Structure 1
């Protein structure tokens, strides 16, 4: 695995959550939290990784927690989210609603069955 951004430096934890909120590119999160990654994995799963990290962060209560602890938890959550997709695929993980709704392992819910458009047109052709 080729990895990017492996420095093992000390993370600047000053206002870490505010700084994370201002980031936009996935690579910026990895750089700020000093997490190494394989560009091939990130290219395929960047949105999924970031969404999963957001889910992990949403489960935490960071009120009255020292910045160093917040940074360590955020780093661990990014590593965990990355690992989810480094060892599995977005289709397997299904973090987005569109993928959850179209899970072939889950049967259709009553009242939400799919009706192909061509079957509706057949009815009108017979009249």
Structure 2
């Protein structure tokens, strides 16, 4: 058993299966016993979940007991939450759309090339 944010033990039995069945961010925090500020979660929920997914992708849980998995996943969720509790989603830019529109990056203009001849051709003639 691991202690939750409020000091109560959390149930680590079959933790991977239980986490796979969770859909809301609040449920992840609840199952793992991680405290959070609803204001932070409301602003950054997708960013936090994306970041924890990135952290989890770097882990190998095969053959580990549920207690160890729960502790590691909990630590990763706390880390991801911490990333966004102190700074905005624009600072971390975890999503492609934000990375592509970073004002600090040099602008690369991509333009489609349309030959001038094709514009001048009348419709219906080739």
1:14 shift after superposition: 1.4
Match of 1:100 in 2: 99
Paired residue total: 109
Tell me the secondary structure at the aligned position of residue 52 of structure 1. helix
The aligned residue for residue 81 of structure 2 is 82
The residue number in structure 1 matching 2:59 is 60
Structure 1 gaps, min length 5: 116-123
C-alpha offsets along residues 8-46 of structure 1, whole Å, 9 cap, x if unaligned?
A: 222211111111111111110010000000111011001
SS at match of 2:33: coil
Matched residue, 1:37: 36
Paired position in structure 1 for 2:16: 17
TM superposition score normalised by structure 1:
0.80
Q: How far apart are residue 6 of structure 1 and its match?
A: 3.7
* Off by >3 Å, runs of 4+ in structure 1: none
TM-score by length of 2: 0.80
Corresponding residue of 1:91 = 90
Structure number with larger C-alpha Rg: 2
